Amino acid sequence: MKTPSLRQSVILLAFPLVTAVGVSPAYAADAKVYPGSMAVKYSGPTPTYSWGMINNPSSSSWMYVDLPVINDDTGSGIDLSWVQVLDRHYSSDVRCSIITVYWNNSADAIYGYFGPNRYSTGSSNNSQTLYTGSATHGSSRHEYFSCAVPPSYAGQTSSIVSYYVSE
């Protein structure tokens, strides 16, 4: 019987450790920043896109968008979230809330949590961060933000810049 070399022994000893680390659950928070351009418009004018943002170019219509979130954490949900916006309308605010939903087969209906609306404050060329809070989820739930973006004013568009989720 041939004895393994030192190199083969090290590889054989390291293999279980490497494979165990590769399949072990993540224990650190999973945080992601998404570009506003990932938003899906569900009502309103056709958006424009610039620098990863989604913009409402209309001077008369509100734009309504959903911002998808990838749920890849096996924990209990979202610990912290925010949406960064540009509000350039003189009297109307950008509005966003976090939502978590699931399909209930037995009731043939959608159930979920609809977080409180968060609003921008005043018109500015500076971005504003709307802290949308936390939300719990299970394996069959999914999360997203729902936002309303006011019309442009004096040629300046309001926008969703980015959004953040920490699971």
CA proximity to 87, closest of 14, 159, 166, 1: 159
For residue range 13-54, list pLDDT tens digits in order. Answer: 444 444 444 444 444 568 899 999 999 999 999 999 999 999
Terminal CA-CA length for the chain: 52
Q: Which of 54-58, 71-75, 104-108, 151-155 is the least confident region?
A: 71-75
CATH domain 27-166 topology = Jelly Rolls (2.60.120)
| Full-model pTM | 0.79
By CB atoms closer than 10 A (0-12, 13-18, 19+), residue 87 is: buried
Using an 8 Å Cβ cutoff, are 162 and 33 in contact? yes
For residue range 89-129, list pLDDT tens digits in order. Answer: 999 999 999 998 888 888 888 888 888 999 999 899 999 99
